[in-house]
Amino acid sequence: MAGSPYTERIADLADQARAARASFEPPESPPAEERALAYLREVFGPAVTLYIDARTGGDHVRLTGEDFSRLNQALHDGLTLYLRCYGSEHDPDVTVRTAAELLVETHNIRDTAQLLTDVPPRR
């Protein structure tokens, strides 16, 4: 089966997310908020945006199973790194679809991550 028009972008993002996770060094004194935000901007947000673009951008694109799996893994990696910057060992169980629906509702990637993980806790 041929890939979707998003296959290359998804593969690049998945590679970037995997490399970021492999090279991650936990902060000495969490939270490392700026670092956490960088993971949202560079990995988590782009994964969600790719999914939204594929679903809403002009022609509805059906992602291949491999594309969808890689996109979910990139999202998971980005959200895991965000959590690790706050000192959390929680393993997020979130799909890209759930994250996309929440982003459409909140219009803010930081709020989306916080609502999905409860990190940082709301005051």
Q: What is the pLDDT of residues 94-116, one digit of tens each?
A: 999 999 999 999 999 999 999 99
**pLDDT tens per residue across span 26-48:** 999 999 999 999 999 999 999 99
| pTM as predicted | 0.93
- Taking the C-alpha atoms of residue 117 and residue 114, their distance in angstroms, rounded to an integer, is 5
Residue 85, in any domain of the structure? yes
Residue 96, in any domain of the structure? yes
Cα–Cα nearest to 10, from 112, 99, 115, 96: 96
User: Residue 78 — φ and ψ, nearest 5°?
Assistant: -65, -40
Residue 82, in any domain of the structure? yes
Residue 4, in any domain of the structure? no
**Number of compact structural domains in the chain:** 1
Domain that holds residue 90: 34-117
Residue 22, in any domain of the structure? no
Cα–Cα nearest to 55, from 15, 14, 16, 96: 96
pLDDT computed for residue 99 by the predictor: 98
Residue 29, in any domain of the structure? no
Residue 92, in any domain of the structure? yes
**pLDDT tens per residue across span 46-72:** 999 999 998 887 667 788 999 999 999
